[in-house]
Chains A and B, each alone.
Chain A
């Protein structure tokens, strides 16, 4: 079966210029990423801020034009599509942005915003648009009477629900969430994560979650890809990556979750500049296991199912086990349970 989305050696460099317009190299935001996203389920892309995960998400939808590589959506290379054909494909691939205060047009009512994809793609006949908007609002947990209001009248959580309704209105197959809950309060985060989980399940969505919050990722992801300085360093089924991280960077990342308390020592130093990443393995400047080979030879992303880009992935000592009750995830789970109605009452809308 062909994967829903396939990235093949995708690269995006942002040129850096000085005050006089002379070239000063380029930020290698995405530097040769190959990734295949199977249909259904949640793939999480995790990494520190600045590692290129948001750029990767936008490149995957060709909202940012990559410099190199292929983006295949259902086997069709998006980079070969003309403007109009690409716009038509957007019906099937959508994105939810991080900041719900910035992602809604301040001069559009909720109804107009959610109706826009329906109008653009002719998803439903014109006469049915209003009904469909109301339906979408109910689906994301908002009262349909609020349709005539403007974004400034809503809270952050409500705005994010509106953005979700807008993204899902045209019935997309693939949805990318670029840190969809990290701008929200913790209690609201749990509700929106609940909502996303329900929608992913009910609508059979394929969801790419871009996040730095490992608590949320561990909770809802089926697969995880870890990025460092524009490259994917580890990729595999979420439970395996969390239980048995094979790349030293992944181990450090997991150990850094607050209160996780594994034995791994914290990382030394800062992330090197993405304008001139270190040669060989990009992580070797901070890696506790680095050897001479690491600064000379770029490691490939190897393995079946659970892949890691480390020369010593198979010979590293086993990772320190994660403490079972990770406080971040536990807090989220408790909040989620609190906001989810008990099973006996789920039949009717409250």
Chain B
């Protein structure tokens, strides 16, 4: 072959030599005018989803209310007034007052803070704990996988809320403990999801290519597999926040979460039970708040799922 003298030079291939005659650039890049990242594309598709956008707006409103509770509330949520017990909604008391004469609107506003915090923080903790463990199980395999999977299965065999109640009862009644309990009960879902996605990824050519390039295992896990499993994790996390908010309300309802007199939607519902016929507003407004927030997070989750679905590559 005519190229044999080239080869006999030996040593590392030299890429910096002057260019030799080579094949022409024939395939002109018939691509969109500007590069679009996967994230940007997902955002564009999400914004087309009307219900999801509505959900996102509601979530943002509640998040703003939770953050700005001191400014939004019209009164001190814990201030009692014996002259205004169980007043119906009016211009002065938008959502009425409760059995101790506290302003229900202000309590719903401050309760948003407890619910949103409990929902997001516990899910973030569940993600931070569950995803690395799941990745480890999926990528390392063997007995590590077997051990982690069996523990996750055992936790998943107990209903989410029952496990959370048991853990919260064990840890003692406090909002922080309720959040820890919810985080622990929510994490096996993420372990299992991350493990399954990592197993899928491990079988792909691009992970084998990453190994062939000389990537150490931690780089494959963090730089290749993790970014690729973010979309389903994001969807799952959004839906999990909705569940965590219900769980927090349930724990507070049972007296295991936010402690009186601090306001929480769950504990407000609990004390409203006794006055359902005389003062329905005590139950309606916190119930409506829970309903709206949970619905909104679910809508956002569904929208994200559609927007991030790799199979809907069109549009």
Contact = CB atoms under 8 A, between A and B. Distances in A.
Interface of A: 39-41, 58, 61, 63, 83-84, 87-88, 90-91, 94-95, 97, 99, 102-109, 116-117, 120-121, 135-136, 139, 141-143, 146, 148-150, 152-155, 157-158, 161, 163, 166, 168, 170-173, 188, 191, 194-195, 198-205, 222, 339-341, 343, 346-347, 349-350
Contacts of B16: 135
Given A94-B212, A103-B209, A106-B206, A149 B25 contact: no
Contact of A105 (B4, B206, B313): B206
A205 B24 CA distance: 20
A350 B17 contact: no
16 contacts: A41-B7, A63-B208, A63-B211, A102-B206, A105-B228, A117-B214, A120-B213, A141-B23, A141-B27, A150-B37, A155-B30, A161-B27, A166-B213, A202-B17, A204-B6, A339-B26
B14 A203 contact: yes
A90 B214 contact: yes
Nearest to A146: B29
The 10 closest A-B pairs by CB, nearest first: A346-B21, A40-B7, A90-B214, A203-B13, A201-B3, A102-B205, A194-B23, A107-B227, A103-B205, A87-B214
A91 B214 contact: yes
A347 B204 CA distance: 40
B22 interface: yes
B311 interface: no
A105 B224 contact: yes
B1 A222 contact: yes
Given A91-B214, A204-B7, A339 B206 contact: no
B75 to A, nearest CB: 50
Contacts of A117: 213-214
Interface string B184-214: 0000000000000000000011101111111
Nearest to A87: B214
B297 to A, nearest CB: 25
Contacts of B35: 109, 148-150, 153
A45 B21 CA distance: 28
Given A116-B215, A191-B23, A103 B29 contact: no
Tell me the dominant secondary structure on chain B's binding face: loop
B12 A171 contact: yes
Interface in B12-63: 12-17, 19-27, 29-32, 35-38
Chain B interface residue number, banded: 35 or more
Contacts of B313: 152
Given A87-B215, A173-B13, A339-B26, A99 B205 contact: yes
Contacts of A150: 35-38
Contacts of A155: 27, 30
Contacts of A198: 20-23
Given A87-B215, A142-B25, A204 B31 contact: no
Nearest to A88: B214
A204 B10 contact: yes
Given A39-B7, A143-B29, A94 B224 contact: no
A340 B209 contact: no
A8 B8 CA distance: 25
B216 interface: yes
A61 B209 CA distance: 12
A1 to B, nearest CB: 10
B9 interface: yes
Given A222-B1, A343-B21, A201 B15 contact: no
A135 B19 CA distance: 10
**Most chain B beta carbons < 10 A, residue from A40, A117, A172, A200:** A40
Contacts of A135: 15-16
B209 to A, nearest CB: 5
A194 B24 CA distance: 9
A154 B9 CA distance: 36
